[in-house]
Amino acid sequence: MALLEVKNLKTHFFTRNGVVKSVDGSSFSIEKGEILGIVGESGAGKSITGFSILGLIDSPGRIVEGEINFDGKDLIKLSENELQKIRGDEISMIFQDPQTSLNPVITIGEQMMEAILYHKKGVSKKAAYEACVEILKTVGLPAARKRMKSYPHQLSGGMKQRVVIAMALLNNPKLLIADEPTTALDVTIQAQILYLMKKLSQEFHSALILITHDIAVVSQLCDKIAVMYAGRIVEYGSKEDIIFNPLHPYTKGLIECLPKLNDEKKRLYQIPGIMPSLLGLPQGCYFKNRCEFSDDECDTYPLQQEINGRIVFCHKVK
Amino acid sequence: MSQSEVKLLEVKEVEKIFGVKVGAFEKKDLHALNRVSFDIYKGKTLSLVGESGCGKTTVGKVILGLYQATKGEVIFRDRDIAKLTPSQRGDIQKDIQMIFQDPYSSLNPRKKIKTILEQPLKIHTNMTKEQRKEAILLLCDDVGIDYSYLERYPHQFSGGQRQRIAIARAMILKPELILADEPISALDVSIQAQILNLMMDLQEKYHATMLFITHDISVVKHISDYIAVMYLGEIVEYASKKELFANPKHPYTKMLFSTVPDIHTPLATESVLKTGEIQSPIDLPQGCFFQNRCQYKEESCMQTHPELYDSGENHLVRCPIVLQKVGIK
């Protein structure tokens, strides 16, 4: 059985201007030790997917439909107290901006120890302290023991993100959700953090969901990829299929518009237009106005097709 | 560098030192720029590449006049503007415009797009109301802003559209020099391509010169004519785009290339962890600034600070080990 199985997840926001269907019927699964990448533009619903798994959706948002089966439990049916026990223990999350995910007025050590002491009753403070130092060493933070007494502002962005990753791994989670973990970092640091995440998720046998807008990052790390557009998954399959043989026009566009180091062309390929607002989605396929292949057929939303184990939503893919 | 290329802006030995407090009673010098020199040629694009904290934005701000250089000269139209504030610069100021990184904070949230675009014309030109309107509409066509957007406020737009508006604002005075400070790093990958293409189109149409500042070496390929790689406030490598991409020489430039994520290359290996982080520009090391991250480091690198030398075909490198290999020095 899969470690996490999300079935037909719908997270909607009931705003004054109408219902925003941020996540509208997403289904995917992840096995133990696997890395799943969720790619898409801002507003595609990738972060909301991650937040939904952890039950972090605030009013006016609500999960209106679907199942999130994690290790034999449906997370949607759990109470806030039960979820609180899972967060940071069995499932932990790494956020985009390390600056805001650490408490600025508490030392690194105290924040980290809290994660252990909260979830594991009966662990002494001393043991927790040592465990924290150990994990900081694992993530490659220089002078780990000294850093336990530092405050977040004393660390650089890359170091802070290491601390956040260490904190997420403290309780040996079964599932790690990383929401744009490297977007705020330099490319050199990004390469280090990505390498570290891959290595650690292998060492800890954790499954990892990587949420990002950069398909190049996803291609380097993931086993499976889900491409999201305007709240829905448009293509979902193994990394090899999606990266080297994309079928959906949107996935093709995302890959094509990456700047390439060995490309002699003067202009970059661009996907025309922008993603429609979730309040004014077009009738039929959401991508049709930006798609070069669209015709009358696209006025109805395409049905799910399964081609050699890959799922794609497009009329033009046969 | 052919003779036909005309210098628009010369940056000569510019130094910028900030005083920072490191304790209650102690102040130290932060060397943001260490004798940076480069020329920008008319109609060409120079890209400054480097990590956060390497001083690339400081260079832009010195040229724009938001910072005054501690030492050195910035020559624009035969005048040294390095130590002048924007108001002291007078007429020159309108010919240097900047596009900022974050389109969310660079547009006044309380002003309509129309007002944002009209303001520079009101201040710097004697156009009548009709002429101003005409100029704005003309530019809207060029940058791909719908006329109906003009009556809206910045919060009604997405990041990519805001960046288009910011570009329009920078272009409205038809400046000779555009400073673009990470104009696409806050945007989605799919929008990045649109904005890069737009900037190239506009540059061609208006014959503008551009200084493009970024941390991501993969995006400069399409837009640059020349590239300068910066590290800890100094230029470590300078070459034409073709030369630099074909033949990167400085160990730091090689490192930048190796860490760019690409769908055709697998994730970097263990060695990537050795690349470390940029050090603080307070208390700079003796010798080469890059020594603690360099895999080719030798004894001599810790002793003397290397100078920038031409390794042939105007490819400047600040690394004695590389230069030795090609037989210079």
Mean pLDDT per 10-residue segment, chain B (329 residues) = 75 92 84 92 93 89 92 92 88 90 89 94 92 94 89 89 92 93 86 90 92 88 91 94 91 88 75 76 86 86 89 88 76
In this predicted structure, what is the pLDDT of residue B63? 93
Helix (H) or strand (E) run with residue B205 in it? helix B189-206
Q: What is the pLDDT of residue B1?
A: 47
In chain A, residues with a C-beta closer than 8 Å to the C-beta of B267 are 194-195, 198, 220-221
pLDDT at residue number A264:
65
The pLDDT of residue A186 is: 84
Contact B262, A243 (CB under 8 A): no
Please check whether residue A216 touches B, CB under 8 A.
yes
Q: Which residues of chain B does A156 touch, with a Cβ-Cβ cutoff of 8 Å? A: 277
Rounded to whole angstroms, the Cα distance separating A181 from A194 reads 9
Percentage of residues in chain A having pLDDT higher than 90:
58
For residue A60, say if its preceding peptide bond is cis, omega within 30 degrees of 0: yes
Distance CA A31, CA A33 (A): 6
Give CA–CA dist B285/B288, Å, rounded. Answer: 7
Query: Which amino acid, one-letter code, is at B300?
Result: S
pTM of the model as a whole? 0.87
Does the beta-carbon distance from A257 to B189 stay under 8 Å? Answer: yes
- Looking at residue A277, its amino acid is S
Residue B327 gets the label, from left (phi > 0), alpha (psi -120 to 50) or beta, of left
Minimal CA separation from B131 to chain A, in Å = 30
Strands B209-214 and B177-181: parallel
Angle between the N-to-C axes of helices A187-203 and B251-259, in degrees from 0 to 180, rounded to the nearest 10: 50
Q: Is A157 touching B (CB cutoff 8 A)?
A: yes
Look at residue A315 and give its three-state secondary structure: coil
Helix ranges restricted to H, A72-225 = 80-86, 98-101, 108-119, 125-138, 144-147, 157-169, 187-203, 215-221
**CB-based contact B154:B107 (threshold 8 Å):** yes
Across the interface, whether the CB atoms of B263 and A216 are under 8 A apart is answered: yes
CA dist list (Å): A295 to A254, A289, A292, A318:
21, 10, 9, 15
- Chain-chain contact of B277 with A158 (C-beta, under 8 angstroms): yes
pLDDT value for B164: 92
Yes or no, beta carbons of B218 and A260 under 8 Å apart: yes
User: Which of A257-283 are b and which e, b meaning 16 or more Cβ less than 10 Å from the residue's Cβ?
Assistant: bbbbeeeeeeebbbbeebbbebeebbe
> Which of A313, A293, A289, A294 lies closest to A234 in space, CA to CA?
A313
The nearest CA of chain B is from the CA of A163 a distance in Å of 15
**Cα separation of A225 and A36, whole Å?**
6
Residue A310 above 90 pLDDT? yes
Q: From the CB of residue B231, how many other CB atoms can be counted at a distance below 10 Å?
A: 27
Best A97, A189, A203, A212 residue to mutate vs chain B (most B CBs within 10 Å): A189
pLDDT tens digits for A159-213? 899 899 999 989 989 999 999 988 878 888 888 888 888 888 888 888 999 999 9
Find all residues with CB under 8 Å of A310, minimum gap 6, and list them: A235, A236, A237, A238, A241, A242, A247
Tell me if B113 sits within 8 A of B120, measured CB to CB.
Answer: no
pLDDT cut 70: percent of chain A above it = 99
Q: What is the ipTM of this complex?
A: 0.82
Locus of tokens 């208390």: B283
Helix (H) or strand (E) segment spanning residue A27: strand A18-30
